[in-house]
Amino acid sequence: MTPIGVDEWVARSGDRRDQSGWRGRLGYLDARVGWWQRLFLVGLAAFVYGQFVVGGNVNYAQTGFNVLLYAILALGLNIVVGWAGLLDLGYIAFFGAGAYGYALFSSHAFGNLPLASGGVMLPAIASIPIAVAGVAILGVLIGLVALRLSGDYFAIVTLFVGQAFAEAANNVAPGTLGGANGLFGLQGFHVGSAAIGSTLGYYWVAVIVLVVLMGLLHLLDSSRTGRAWRAVRDDSLAASAMTIPVNKVKVMAFAFGAVVAALAGTIFAAQQSSVFSTNFSAQTLILIYACLVLGGAGSIGGAVLGGVVVTVAQQLLSSPIDSAYLFYGILVIVLVTRVRPWRYLAAVLAAIVAFGVAAHAIVGAISHRAIAGSPGSAGWFSTALRHYVIVPRGEPLTYGNILYIAAIVMVIVVVQLKGIRRLIAVVPTVYVGICCWEARLTLDPGITAQIMIGAILIVTMAARPEGLLGTRRVEVV
C-alpha cells in the first residue's frame, strides 16, 4: 500500500533499480525486443505448434484451438476491464450472442418461418458480419443504459444481463433457439468452395484472428481512444475536466469488448457446429476472468499468456500423468523459489522425504492394509511413490476427503506462521498434500481442475494483483 502523499515516481523507485544476474539480463533482453517482433514471435510459435506439433492429433488441435479462443476472449475482456476499468460481469452474454447469432443464420433454426423454409444457410462470410454487427448494436445499447451507473452498480447490472441472457437462451422461443437442446448441425466456414472440416482448420482461422486482433489492439492502445480509456479508468473526473467525453469513451470500450467476444463466439459456434445455453454460464465467465487476471489486466501479451496458462493447465489436469508432472513441478518450483537460503531448502527437501518414509514405515508396521492401496498417479510416479505415500486399500474416498480437509487447514496454518516455524510446518503439509493428491485429487480430475482455478485466482490476487505481465498501478490518494 502506497502511503498517502507519495507520488508515483517515488513509489516506483524499486522498479527502476538495476537488477544483476539472470533477471537483469532477461530484463535487458526484454527491453530490446520491440512489440511487433514479439507479435511475430507469437505468430511463429502458433505456426510451429500447428504445423509440427499437432501432427494429426485431434486432442492437440483442440487444445490449441481452446487456447486461442480463450486468448481472444481475454483480449476482448481486457479492453473493457483492463483499459477502461469497467467491471463487466455480463461479458459472457456477448460471447453467447455472437455464437447464437452465427447459429441462427447458418442452420435450420429459421426452418419454421414461412419465408425461409429449410433454414437460413448464409455463407460464413455473410453471417459472421451480421452476427458481429448485431452484437455491436446490442453492446452499444446495453452500454448506453448500463453506463448510467458507476462502479459496483455497473458490475451488478452487467452480471444480471449475463444471467438474463443464459435464461433467455434457455427459455425464450424454444422452437427457434432450441431451448435446453441448443442448436446443432451448424454450417462451418468455407474457404472458396472448400469447407473447413477439421479442428486444425479452425485452429488456423483462430491463429489469424488472434494475430490480426493483437496488432489492431496494439494500435488502438496507443491511439487517442486508448489513451482516453486509460485516463477515464484512472480518474474519470479529471478526464472529463480534460474534455474527454467520459460516457462516450466508456460505451465505446464496452461495445469494442462485445464485438471481440462476438467474433470469438462465431468461431466457437462454427468449430463446435452446435451451441448450447450452458456453454455461456458463469463458470466460463470466471475462466475468462482467470485468464485476464493471471496474465495481467491491461496488457495484450498478458491476456494471451493467461489464456495459454489457464487452458493448458486445465488440459494437463485432465490426464493423470500430465497432472502429476504439473502438481510436482509446481510444488518443487514453489519450494525452490520461496525457501532461502540453499541449506534450508536442502534441509526441507530432505525432511520431506524422510518424514514420508518414516510415516509410511510406522503406519505400515501398525496395519498392512493402511498402505496397501496404490497411488492415483500414472506412469513412473506411481512406482516411485508406492513406498512413500499412505494410500489404504478399500475406502480411498473417505480417507482422501479427510486428507483434503487436513491439507487445506495445514496450508492455512503455514501461511500464518513465520520464520523457522513455517519451515518446520511446511514438511508435514507437503507430505499431507502429496498423500491427498495421490489418494483423492487425481481420481476426480475435473473437480480438481476447478479447485485449482479457484486457488489460482485467490493466490494471484494476494501475491501479485497485477498478474504475470501487468504493470503495477500505483493508486495515488
Partner 1 sequence: MQIFIQTLVTGIVTGCLYALIALGYSMVYGVLKLLNFAHGDLYMVGAFIGYFAIQWFGGSTSLIIPVPLLLIFMMIVAGLGVGLLGVAIERFAYRPLRNAPRIAPLITALGVSFILEDSVLLLFGGFTKNYNAPAFLPFSQSIHIDGVNIDSVQLIIVGVSLVMMFGLRELVNRTVFGKSMRAVASDREAAEMLGINVDRTIAMTFFIGSAMAGVAGVMSGLAFGQISNIIGFLAGLKAFTAAVVGGIGSLPGAMIGGLVIGLCESFSSSYISSQYSDLIVFAILIVTMLIRPQGIFGRPPLQKV
Q: Binding segment for partner 1 among 19-27, 148-156, 313-321, 328-336 (CB under 8 A)? A: 148-156
On whether the CB atoms of residues 467 and 294 are closer than 8 A, the answer is yes
Nearest alpha carbon to residue 448 among 404, 410, 415, 413: 404
> How many whole angstroms separate alpha carbon 307 and alpha carbon 468?
12
Paired residues of 274 in beta bridges? 184
Whose cell is 455497473? That residue is 154
Least separation in angstroms between residue 313's CB and partner 1 is 14
Whose cell is 498501478? That residue is 473
Binding mask 77-96 for partner 1 (x = CB under 8 A): ----x-----x---------
Q: How many CA atoms lie within 13 A of 105 on its CB side?
A: 19
Burial 148-168 (b: 16+ CB within 10 A, else e): eeeeeebbebbbebbbebbee
Q: Which of 5, 152, 340, 343 binds partner 1 (CB under 8 A)?
A: 152
Q: Which of 204, 276, 280, 289 binds partner 1 (CB under 8 A)?
A: 289
Residues comprising the chain, all counted: 477
153 is a site residue for partner 1 (CB under 8 A): yes
448 is a site residue for partner 1 (CB under 8 A): yes
Least separation in angstroms between residue 185's CB and partner 1 is 25
58-77 vs 246-272: helix axis angle to the nearest 10?
170
Q: Which of 54, 246, 255, 297 binds partner 1 (CB under 8 A)?
A: 297
> Torsion over CA of 83, 84, 85 and 89, rounded to 10 degrees?
-100
Return the number of other C-beta atoms located less than 10 Å from residue 94's C-beta.
36
351 is a site residue for partner 1 (CB under 8 A): no
471 is a site residue for partner 1 (CB under 8 A): no
Least separation in angstroms between residue 371's CB and partner 1 is 23
The one-letter amino acid at 56:
G
Ramachandran category for residue 56: left, alpha or beta (phi over 0 → left; psi -120 to 50 → alpha): left
Q: Binding segment for partner 1 among 61-69, 91-99, 156-164, 212-220 (CB under 8 A)? A: 156-164
Q: Which of 293, 310, 313, 359 binds partner 1 (CB under 8 A)?
A: 293
473 is a site residue for partner 1 (CB under 8 A): yes
Least separation in angstroms between residue 452's CB and partner 1 is 9
Least separation in angstroms between residue 146's CB and partner 1 is 8
Least separation in angstroms between residue 31's CB and partner 1 is 26
> How many whole angstroms separate alpha carbon 69 and alpha carbon 92?
13
Q: Binding segment for partner 1 among 163-171, 184-192, 313-321, 422-430 (CB under 8 A)? A: 163-171
415 is a site residue for partner 1 (CB under 8 A): yes
Burial 396-405 (b: 16+ CB within 10 A, else e): beebbeebbe
On whether the CB atoms of residues 432 and 406 are closer than 8 A, the answer is yes
3 is a site residue for partner 1 (CB under 8 A): no
Least separation in angstroms between residue 406's CB and partner 1 is 12
Q: Which of 225, 247, 274, 401 binds partner 1 (CB under 8 A)?
A: 401
Ramachandran category for residue 26: left, alpha or beta (phi over 0 → left; psi -120 to 50 → alpha): alpha
Least separation in angstroms between residue 155's CB and partner 1 is 7
Whose cell is 506412469? That residue is 379
On whether the CB atoms of residues 262 and 95 are closer than 8 A, the answer is yes
Residue among 211 and 451 whose Cβ is closer to partner 1: 451
Least separation in angstroms between residue 150's CB and partner 1 is 8
Binding site for partner 1 (CB under 8 A): 1, 81, 87, 145, 148-149, 151-153, 155-157, 159-161, 163-164, 167-168, 171-172, 237, 282, 286, 289, 293, 297, 401, 404-405, 408, 412, 415, 440-441, 444, 447-448, 450-451, 453-458, 461-462, 465, 473, 475
